[in-house]
Chain A
Amino acid sequence: MKKHSERRSWLIARRRIAGIYAFIVLGSALLILRLGYLQIAMASQFTTDVKAQNFDSLTIPAPRGQILDRQGAVLATNQPVFRIIYIRYPNDNAKIGGVAKRLAYPLGQSEAALIKEMTQTNSWNAYTTLVRQATPLQISYVEEHKQSLPGIEIIQTPERAYPMGSFAAHVIGYTGAIPANQAQAYQAQGYYPSAQVGLSGIEQQYESVLRGQNGVKRIPVNPAGVPLPGGTISQSPKTGNNVVLNLDGPLEKVAEQALVSRIAYLRGLGEHNVHSGAIVVMNVHTGAVLAMASYPSYNPNWWIGGISSANYQSYLNGNAGFNRAVSGLYMPGSTQKMLTALTALQNHTISPNLIVNDTGGLQIGTYYMRSWNQAGFGPIGLDEALEVSDDTYFYQVGLDMGHYNINNPPANISAWLNGPRVAALRSINAMGKQFGLTSLTGVDLPGEAPGYVTFANPPTLYDLPAAAIGQEEAYSPIGLATYIAAIANGGYRVQPQMVHEITSPTGRVLKVFKPHVIDKVKVNPAYLKIIQKGLEMATHGTLGTATYFFGSDPVNVAGKTGTAESGIPGRNNSVFVGYAPYNNPQIAIAAVIPNVTGEGFRAAAPMAQQVIDAYFKQQQKK
């Protein structure tokens, strides 16, 4: 062997090996450069990629705010519910079969049903709920077998609960899944597809207040979609704010019971057409709605977690979901007469001293228009006409508004029909608008229907006098309440207000709704006084139509009954509007029960009396 120092071949190799090392250094530099490019220059890009693909965001639904009545009783709240959900992933279908097989028995569902649920139901949603209210056993099963149940998670969600059942159902409304046809509109407002939203009543009207802000939980996942430990709540859910109603719970209870029992009573007498009704009680000065009852009713709890078909049938039955107090329109009958009188007085088409000789009816052209009292009351003034609800008097007022002289009818009838008659109907409509009858009252509930005056087509000689006694109009109970409140308070049209204030989840007052006077009705206060007097006489006069109910009432109630043909032959809408006390009005009430046989006062007035008495008894206690 040659000596080390003599290895000539190696001297060359040494240089070469240095060259190799130079290459190695160069290669390393290249790698570090590339590393720097990826990890420094491009880091934010890749961080974004990682966030997008490695994590699933689960929405933590925010608890909705509560709905409370005036006394603080909870009408709508939340209860925690454990759900078993399946989180969907793009490449996860292979595992679904195994998951379904494992879960079928513990969840009490068939494999096929589970697979369908996991793949098809609301397929646009990131996850689907397999069990809405998991039992402790189901929860422990899922927890213990989590490794073999990829995509299955247990989440705790707040769920709506209505502790008082159907109480004030139409006011509260209900929550449910977003209707398919509104999905886009809701998603634009940041709702996730399976969100529960207010679909009716206060739940709908104050959705933005009640909804709160959903939280987000980020859960790391692997490519197979298996959630890994170490999820973090990146945004805590914020509970929605509370809505405190003006609704007076005990009074509401009385109103609902009065309505239900009155309808039951009438049906007990064989009145099978009687199946619905509504009552509204309002503070005459503030517009605060103290009670609002509508029958038939429903239980908002039916809607939680999806309504069953049996409950849905009940909900549809008799249109139970319909809030008749706000959305129902009823012929007012004689409760129209105050408006008619005010319109005529204000337009100077009659004098406040008008005396009409009531002979039991009025011959208009070829028509004979009967008064309800066919014997006639003889010569009668305005306040007395209101007391006895004299039809003949108001036929005459109606004709006077149209400048129609029975003894000297206009030569050109057709010109009258299309001219003065229309103008008179329009003037009634215009006055109705001022009182919130033919306009929206602005109540803070969805679905309010504006009342209207019918302009009959073809026109007749008698439709104007018929309109004068409330046979040609249709008003909502909330409209009637606003109307009678304005008469009571000296002409102020207040906006009916369901909500008193909004409070934070901790109870701090965030906003108080001040009473809102929309307008002052343009009516001479002296005329209002006459009307008020007439209403007091109607409840206290010897011949008053409501004296039977209110004559000996400890509370001095002023009011007016109404009977209007309901469309079913021989059946009438029974209407009552009133306020109390007469001298110092506090509350206004409107009550309606349609399709009653005979004179309407039998139905609406007595239940109004119950409610008014209850209110003042309650006031005395305080």
Chain B
Amino acid sequence: MESIVKRNIRDLDYVLIAVMILISVISCIAVYTSTLGKANPNTGSASLGIPAHILYRQIAFEVLSYIVMFVVMLFDYRNLAKLRWYFYGGTLLLLVAVFGFHRVNGAHSWIPFPLLSFQPSELAKLVSIIWVADYMSRMNEREVPDYSFRGLLPIFLAFIVPFVLILKEPALGQALVLLAIMYSMLLVYVKKKQMRWMLAASAIFISLIVVAVAVVPNQTVNFLDHQHILKPYQTGRLISFIEPGYDPASSGWQVHQAEIAVGAGGVFGQGIGKGSQTNGSWVPFQWTDFIFSAIAEQLGFVGSSVLIMLFLIMLYRLIRVATTALDDFASYVIAGIVGMFAFQVFENIGMNLVVTPATGITLPFVSYGGSSLVVNFISIGIALSVSVRRRTLRFD
């Protein structure tokens, strides 16, 4: 019997690893160029929180993330199902605890550990996936599975609790990711009848949004504003999305500047370190939410398309693992992870391109940020853990 490590090395998804490494390289370039020379007191205030050695931090977290990813891969993913309550419960505690710490950039999203500010909402996405995937696979195992609305209720509940807590931080983007995860997991889980309901509900929901945003945008904004559904800055972002050119000096500034950065990139880009939008700090928080604009400005249409293609390959490799997984739990977990990444990538790049309204969502694997990087690579690690264990059954 060959050792676990040997088997892992043999069965490793090298395509996925190669894609991840390429994305990490792009990430380091983008983080470096978008923060270069900005750690001085004049270009940014202290609240921007740019550490002086941001590139080294990012590289350190990349290295740490890869180590964590391989460690996770070595463990049998099925242990996750056993520990689901600890994960889930612990994360909920952290999501509550986060309100006890100072706001950073106006939101209670961070727990400031020494060396690392930790964002529990990042963890919440993954633990919700694990808990729900376990619930779904157990339901499939039952003699009489309950696929009715009643049976779906615990799934909703598992997402809604962290959703509300994250919304309260406020971190609208992160909360929306939870909904996207739930949606993608339900898509592969529910039976035909519920599927019809889901699709019908989605169609109605989407048409409502289209009508609200495209046909009666002013009333929608007023409604969201007066009912305190959205914070004023969120309303501002929404208006500036609906009306390009709205308030470019404040709420529309970031999006407007990101769009200019993207457009100025042209076909081949300005060259690494030569983007004047990026060098001049014209896009606030470019190293987190708007890092794509830095890539687009410096690497142009060609480089940006390559990045999008890399994500496409990454998601394909994950889906490939899901469809060949050993058990339902693994498939559901990966479905959730795919939904999570797909939504974040689309939403983040979309808001850089002014296709979707700006919400605080980082670009997975690319944006600067230690906790999200580690959690994202844990997710990849889980997928790899599934991947290296599926063949054992086939060839044994």
Contact = CB atoms under 8 A, between A and B. Distances in A.
Q: Do A and B bind each other?
A: yes
Contact of A35 (B277, B296, B311, B342): B296
B338 interface: yes
B84 to A, nearest CB: 17
A290 B137 CA distance: 109
Contacts of B265: 39, 43
A570 B279 CA distance: 80
Interface in A387-445: none
Contacts of A49: 260, 263-264
A47 B280 contact: no
Interface string A36-67: 10111011011101100111000000000000
B136 to A, nearest CB: 9
A456 interface: no
A220 B279 contact: yes
Interface stretch (A18-26, A178-186, A191-199, A246-254): A18-26
A80 interface: no
Given A4-B393, A45-B263, A54-B277, A223 B323 contact: no
A13 B280 contact: no
A31 B323 contact: no
B319 A224 contact: no
B305 A32 contact: yes
B280 A220 contact: yes
Contacts of A221: 280
Contacts of B191: 12
Nearest to B140: A9
Contacts of B263: 38-39, 42-43, 45-47, 49
B285 interface: no
B385 to A, nearest CB: 16
Q: Tell me what chain A mostly uses at the interface: helix, strand, loop, or mixed.
A: helix
A39 to B, nearest CB: 4
B266 interface: yes
B70 interface: no
A148 B41 contact: yes
Contacts of B355: 30-31, 34
Given A28-B312, A54-B280, A35 B264 contact: no
A105 interface: no
Contacts of B311: 28
Contacts of A14: 323
B280 A24 contact: no
B58 interface: no
A40 to B, nearest CB: 6
Contacts of B301: 35-36, 39-40
Given A25-B312, A35-B301, A220-B279, A226 B338 contact: no
B300 interface: yes
B266 A43 contact: yes
A552 B129 CA distance: 122
Nearest to B263: A46
B338 A20 contact: yes
Contacts of A148: 41-42
B349 A228 contact: no
B277 A38 contact: no
Interface in A187-223: 220-223
Contacts of B267: 39-40, 43
B189 A21 contact: no
A50 B260 CA distance: 7
Nearest to A47: B264
Given A7-B328, A50-B260, A222 B353 contact: no
A47 B315 CA distance: 33
A16 interface: yes
B326 interface: yes
A27 interface: yes
Nearest to B301: A39
Contacts of B41: 147-148
Contacts of B276: 50, 54-55, 220
Interface in B322-357: 322-323, 326-328, 331, 335, 338-339, 342, 346, 349-350, 353, 355
Nearest to A9: B140
A9 B300 CA distance: 44
B280 A223 contact: yes
Contact of A39 (B304, B339, B346): B304
Contacts of B187: 16-17, 19-20
Contacts of B326: 4
A208 to B, nearest CB: 36
Contacts of B335: 13, 17, 20
Contact of B188 (A16, A25, A42, A222): A16
Contact of B328 (A9, A53, A222, A228): A9
A12 B327 CA distance: 14
B282 interface: yes
Most buried by B among A23, A50, A223, A226: A50
Given A220-B276, A223-B281, A31 B349 contact: yes
Contact of B280 (A4, A36, A43, A228): A228
Task: Output the residue of A9, A25, A32 with the most chain B CB within 10 A.
Answer: A9
A147 B38 CA distance: 11
9 contacts: A1-B141, A20-B187, A20-B339, A28-B308, A39-B266, A42-B263, A49-B264, A220-B279, A228-B280
- Sorted nearest first, the 7 A-B pairs with minimum C-beta distance are A46-B263, A13-B188, A39-B301, A222-B280, A54-B276, A43-B266, A50-B264
Given A17-B322, A17-B338, A95-B42, 19 more contacts: A9-B328, A20-B335, A20-B342, A24-B315, A30-B355, A31-B308, A31-B349, A35-B308, A39-B263, A42-B263, A43-B264, A46-B260, A49-B263, A53-B282, A55-B276, A150-B42, A220-B279, A220-B280, A228-B279
Interface of A: 1-2, 4, 7, 9-10, 12-14, 16-17, 19-21, 23-25, 27-28, 30-32, 34-36, 38-40, 42-43, 45-47, 49-50, 53-55, 95, 147-148, 150, 220-224, 226, 228, 230
